[in-house]
A = this chain, B = another copy of it.
Amino acid sequence: MENAQARPAAERYAFLGPAGTFTEAALLQVAPGSVHQPMPDVVTALDAVRRGEADRAVVPIENSVEGGVSATLDALTSGDPLVVVGEVLVEISFVLVARPGTRLEDVRYVATHPHAWAQCRGTLARLVPGVQHLPATSTAAGAALLVEHDGVEELGFEAALVAAHSAAATGLEVLAEGVEDRIGAVTRFVVVARPGVVPPRTGADKTTLLVHLPHDDAGALLTMLEQFAARGVNLSRIESRPIGDALGRYAFSIDADGHLADERVAATLIGLHRVCPFVLFLGSYPRADMLPTTVAAGTSDDAFAAAHAWVAGLRAGLDEA
């Protein structure tokens, strides 16, 4: 257990910044009272943890609005080891903001990150016919410029598209809410730490791995996946990535249902370690959606214990032989 006296200060969280991004929204869910350290990119955020300048990092891992997903997968697995200790889901909802007094019909240019623009373009075109995009380095950046400048002429845009959670903090006026084209979209973020601590099993957990295949024939992927199937472990994410050291060799980034403390997950890891040239354990942590893992028949800890006991009984005879 962590000693309160040993860590009197708030924990330091690096995140893909600046303030106002969806990654900050994720961070606010996880550790609202922590010291927030905005970073320009995922690699910098993770390196801050590696060097001990931050205690943890929050970075996007899937379906990100502002990018960073491939970078996250690669940055996690190169350099000093890191582990995932949690995940957060953030609903992706956008708000159109402007300086007080601006009317919707006054808007001709909207500053925002290109990915944000892509997700709201259809709705904005209906709201403000003829509206155009002015790229910004983040959703927060455009709003910041609107606040700093009082003369619209200098800026070349009248409104900014920002993450819903950050609208109030900008001090700007909301022209339209929920302007995303696809309602209900969600982005997944992970909380990353230095190795050493695995969050306790909750019964609704994920385990993240990186696995190399030894060769690329049609059976190699099946052979690897059979290690999961033989123990009833389901995958919720799999992505192949070229290893880069030779043609035709692949690494697989995998999220599996279950926790290192589950016997079926441990048995799968043992199997993977035997048949794959490289296996990296990247953490077991509670699922953000808290959906309990479905435990297939014969894959509970009890089933493993009973099977081990049976074989141990059979093998007892061996010592006397």
Contact = CB atoms under 8 A, between A and B. Distances in A.
Interface in A105-136: 114-115, 117-118, 121, 133, 135-136
A64 B197 CA distance: 33
Interface stretch (A5-13, A167-175, A267-275): A267-275
A298 interface: yes
B271 A230 contact: yes
A246 to B, nearest CB: 12
A318 B67 CA distance: 33
A148 B310 CA distance: 55
Interface stretch (A28-36, A37-45, A152-160): A37-45
Interface string A211-228: 000001111011101111
A229 interface: yes
A286 B232 CA distance: 33
Q: Report how many copies the assembly holds.
A: 4
Interface residues of A, number: 91
Interface in A250-301: 250, 252, 260-261, 266, 269-271, 273-275, 281, 289, 291, 294, 296-299
Nearest to A312: B266
A273 B228 contact: no
Contacts of A270: 304, 307-308, 310-311
Which of A184, A199, A235 gathers the greatest number of chain B CB atoms within 10 Å? A235
B230 A227 contact: yes
Which of A69, A218, A242, A275 gathers the greatest number of chain B CB atoms within 10 Å? A218
A185 interface: yes
A298 B314 contact: no
A321 B200 contact: yes
B226 A229 contact: yes
Contact of A40 (B117, B195, B216): B117
A31 B270 CA distance: 43
B240 A237 contact: yes
A264 B227 CA distance: 13
Contacts of A229: 218-219, 222-223, 226
Contacts of A227: 230
A217 B266 CA distance: 19
A51 interface: no
Contacts of A233: 218
Given A40-B114, A41-B114, A269-B307, 15 more contacts: A41-B115, A41-B118, A69-B70, A198-B317, A200-B321, A218-B296, A221-B225, A231-B271, A236-B250, A237-B240, A239-B240, A248-B291, A260-B311, A269-B310, A274-B306
17 contacts: A40-B133, A41-B114, A44-B118, A63-B241, A136-B137, A198-B321, A221-B235, A222-B226, A223-B229, A227-B230, A237-B240, A238-B240, A269-B314, A271-B307, A273-B310, A273-B311, A274-B304
